[in-house]
Amino acid sequence: MATIIREIMRGYRYMNEEIADPRTKDWFLIGSPWPGLALLGFYLHFIYRLGPSLMANRPPMKLELVIRIYNIVQIVLSSYLFYKACILGWLKDYNYSCEPVDYSDTPRAVEIAGTVYLYFIVKIIDLLDTVFFVLRKKQNQISFLHVYHHTGMVMGSWGGVKYLAGGHATFLGLINSFVHVIMYTHYLVSSFKIANPWWKKYITQLQLIQFFLILVHFSQLLWTEDCGFPRWPAAIFIPQNIFMIVLFGDFYYQTYVKKKPQKKVAVEQNGQANVESSNGKAKNQ
């Protein structure tokens, strides 16, 4: 038993210290996985148990102003991350086939690591999406896809700061930040009661394109000659992005492609006819 415990401790030290990026080991929430896991644990407890319990006998909170400010903050942060990813790497000298991580302490390498860390912090801020659902008593919008995506992004970005703060993996942050600029702009516009129903469909299409591009990007590690970037992230991100394509693809099919039941279509058509009839009467009066 003592031998097993020693091996576990040795494995933990290897994962948490020996192969970790020495530049980021002392950064907030990065030195150990436990604070981040505790945060995610509280997040899951709040959205499924504590939050609904606290809101059970209360009316939905009116958070319009808070959510508008939140959306603006998200747009600004995502735009900044996209800009930094472009000027520090992907529009400069990064190789799209395979790009190693620069673990040096040069100003540019440290700035890239800091940008990856900011991306991780933004993924934590993203968890407020779900918290707002709970406080507004929109529990039906807290789907498995929503929660899985948010928790997975926090865990994945933590691993990026811990082990791969730069290089090939930052393409994910580049694409995701761009998508978030579009997505939170849509949320901001919608918060002002401005009708833009077509945005939701095309944002979902954009998300599917995002996962496909990330899938192709990490798949290149399987056949590209070794450039110094490890191949093991491909074992995580290839199945992960296939899974996300399946989940988002199913959501897209169920929401925008699948035909509505005939009765529902008839009811909607009758309702539309009644609205048009009423509008016609109103105009004639």
Q: What is the pLDDT of residue 194?
A: 82
Q: What is the pLDDT of residue 114?
A: 98
Q: Is 191 exposed, middle or buried (0-12, 13-18, 19+ CB in 10 A)?
A: middle
- Give residues with Cβ within 8 angstroms of 136, minimum separation 6: 60, 61, 63
Cα angle vertex 235, ends 183, 79, to 5°?
A: 25
| Helix, strand, coil content of the chain in percent (nearest 5) | 75, 0, 25
Q: What is the pLDDT of residue 12?
A: 85
Per the residue annotation, which of 45, 146, 149, 217 is the catalytic one?
149
186 has catalytic annotation: no
**Residue 129, H or E segment:** helix 128-135
Q: What is the pLDDT of residue 279?
A: 39
Separation CA 76–CA 279 (nearest Å): 42
Q: What is the pLDDT of residue 277?
A: 39
Q: What is the pLDDT of residue 260?
A: 58
> Per residue of the chain (285 residues), what is the pLDDT tens digit?
788 888 888 888 888 888 999 999 999 999 999 999 999 999 999 999 999 999 999 999 999 999 999 999 999 999 999 999 999 999 989 999 999 999 999 999 999 999 999 999 999 999 999 999 999 999 999 999 999 999 999 999 999 999 999 999 999 999 999 999 999 999 999 988 887 777 888 999 999 999 999 999 999 999 988 889 999 999 999 999 999 999 999 989 998 888 655 444 443 444 443 433 333 433 333
